[in-house]
């Protein structure tokens, strides 16, 4: 039986570039080589696409602090409308092998936010994960939280501030609305990049400056005291939810370093210590959030669980981390789906969606 050729698209022009490299490395190692052939497409920090050699596509691969894309000299371009072979070599050195499906392992802007997804749809290439709308609203925390709130799903109280509005928003006003402490976050970023915890007025300016370095709008958000619970979701029209896991940070909050660099920065408790009723509540709310935000393929839904047994949705990640210490694959392994099988199911879901979409009419003629 002919193997399916999967293009692993990773790296990206984002502050989460290094996270993507780690995720791609783990997927490449775990993918079932009896079913799939892989083509590696690395995107450097300048946004250039490269056809990569699987034997030497990373530098310092074992060190998450120093990991780096080893950019090849062979550029890649997408030619929309070229149905048989939309991926071509932009440097004309070699003809690229056609791919059957793309697995985007891109985190943050220019990869998780609908930009790449729109380009792949224009080119007619099936891809893993949420489509354009689901990716866009899953990336923008402001829009995400408004949609969740309107659907009756509990979220933390938040105030969105654009760069132009910033001079008129004071620490005193935010303290009055949100209490102390509160958080500041770039609206369009993940992996806790640019996130700051504000305990006093002396923290306010510097933490806000950092957040605004990454986006033109930021969220100021009340601090929810509670356990940090996460649930993985898998599927298209009929998604399923994993058992919940719990993040127990050893840092002040679940920071970038705790997620990807410091292996002792947080304890991941899988499964979480919850009653069966509580497990069902988390799973039901994860699926509700997934559907509300037009999720497809995969997502990780992050919650707070308060002492009053209140469940609050923090956010939904449409391309969750796939590193060896990431929650998304760990929760599925604990739920009975191995890392390799999870990758297989995600690719199958992408191809199934492509077949479904091909049934839609593109003309009003009958």
Same domain membership, residue 173 and residue 217:
yes
For residue 207, count CB atoms less than 10 angstroms from its CB and return exposed for 0-12, middle for 13-18, buried for 19 or more: buried
For residue 307, give both structure tokens: 């002492």
| pLDDT score at 154 | 98
Mean pLDDT for the stretch of residues 53-74: 82
d(CA 90, CA 94): 9
Same domain membership, residue 230 and residue 352:
yes
Same domain membership, residue 344 and residue 232:
yes
d(CA 103, CA 38): 10
Same domain membership, residue 351 and residue 229:
yes
pLDDT tens, 7-33? 999 999 887 889 899 999 999 999 999
Q: Which domain holds residue 253?
A: 147-152+225-356
Same domain membership, residue 176 and residue 82:
no
Q: Is 323 a residue whose pLDDT tops 90? A: no
Same domain membership, residue 334 and residue 229:
yes
For CA atoms 121, 242, 344, 248, the dihedral sign is positive
- pTM exceeds cut of 0.85: yes
Same domain membership, residue 201 and residue 244:
no
Q: Is residue 139 part of a domain?
A: no
Q: Is 315 a residue whose pLDDT tops 80? A: yes
Q: Is 94 a residue whose pLDDT tops 90? A: no
Could you tell me the end-to-end alpha-carbon distance of the chain, in angstroms, rounded to an integer? Answer: 37
For residue 265, give both structure tokens: 């920065």
Q: Is residue 254 part of a domain?
A: yes
Q: Is residue 195 part of a domain?
A: yes
* Alpha helices (H) along the chain: 17-30, 115-123, 132-139, 141-150, 171-178, 201-212, 256-260, 276-292, 327-334, 339-358
Same domain membership, residue 117 and residue 34:
yes
pLDDT tens, 182-196? 999 999 886 577 899
d(CA 158, CA 156): 6
Same domain membership, residue 245 and residue 324:
yes
Q: What CATH number should be reported for the domain holding residue 54?
A: 3.40.50.20
Q: Is residue 364 part of a domain?
A: no
Number of folded domains that form the chain: 3
Same domain membership, residue 293 and residue 183:
no
Q: What CATH number should be reported for the domain holding residue 290?
A: 3.30.470.20
| pLDDT score at 264 | 62
Same domain membership, residue 217 and residue 236:
no
Neighbours of 126 (CB within 10 A): 20
Q: Is 365 a residue whose pLDDT tops 80? A: no
Output DSSP code: residue 155: B
Mean pLDDT for the stretch of residues 95-122: 90
Q: Is residue 138 part of a domain?
A: no
Q: What CATH number should be reported for the domain holding residue 213?
A: 3.30.1490.20
Q: Give the angle 353-355-359 at the CA atoms, nearest 5°.
A: 110
Q: Is residue 257 part of a domain?
A: yes
Q: Is residue 57 part of a domain?
A: yes
| pLDDT score at 24 | 92
| Nearest to 317, CA basis, from 1, 4, 20 | 20
Q: Is residue 185 part of a domain?
A: yes
């Amino acid at each position: 039986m002919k193997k399916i050729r999967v293009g692993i698209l990773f790296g990206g022009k984002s502050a989460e570039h290094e996270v993507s490299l780690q995720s791609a490395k783990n997927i490449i190692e775990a993918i079932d080589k009896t079913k799939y052939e892989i083509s590696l497409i690395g995107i450097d920090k300048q946004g250039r696409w490269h056809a990569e050699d699987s034997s030497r596509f990373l530098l310092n691969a074992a060190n998450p602090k120093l990991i780096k894309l080893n950019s090849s000299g062979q550029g890649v371009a997408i030619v929309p409308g070229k149905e048989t072979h939309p991926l071509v070599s932009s440097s004309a050195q070699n003809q690229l092998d056609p791919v059957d499906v793309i697995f985007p392992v891109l985190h943050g802007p220019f990869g998780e936010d609908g930009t790449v997804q729109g380009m792949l749809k224009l080119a007619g290439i099936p891809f893993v994960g949420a489509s354009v709308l689901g990716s866009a609203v899953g990336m923008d925390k402001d829009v995400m939280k408004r949609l969740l709130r309107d659907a009756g799903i509990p979220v933390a109280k938040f105030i969105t501030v654009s760069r132009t509005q910033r001079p008129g928003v004071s620490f005193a006003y935010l303290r009055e609305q949100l209490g102390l402490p509160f958080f500041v976050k770039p609206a369009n970023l993940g992996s806790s990049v640019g996130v700051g915890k504000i305990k006093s007025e002396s923290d306010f300016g510097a933490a806000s400056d950092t957040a605004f370095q990454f986006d033109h709008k930021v969220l100021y958000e009340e601090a929810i005291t509670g356990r940090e619970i996460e649930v993985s979701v898998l599927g298209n029209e009929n998604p399923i939810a994993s058992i919940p896991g719990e993040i127990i940070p050893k840092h002040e909050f679940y920071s970038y370093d705790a997620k990807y660099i410091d292996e002792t920065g947080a304890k991941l408790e899988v499964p979480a210590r919850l009653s069966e009723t509580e497990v069902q509540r988390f799973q039901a709310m994860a699926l509700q959030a997934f559907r509300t935000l037009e999720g497809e393929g995969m997502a990780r839904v992050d919650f707070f669980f308060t002492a009053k047994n209140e469940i609050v949705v923090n956010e939904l990640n449409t391309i969750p981390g796939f590193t060896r210490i990431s929650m998304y694959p760990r929760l599925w392994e604990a739920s009975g789906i191995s890392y390799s099988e999870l990758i297989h199911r995600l690719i199958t879901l992408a191809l199934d969606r492509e077949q479904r979409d091909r049934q839609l009419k593109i003309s009003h003629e009958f």
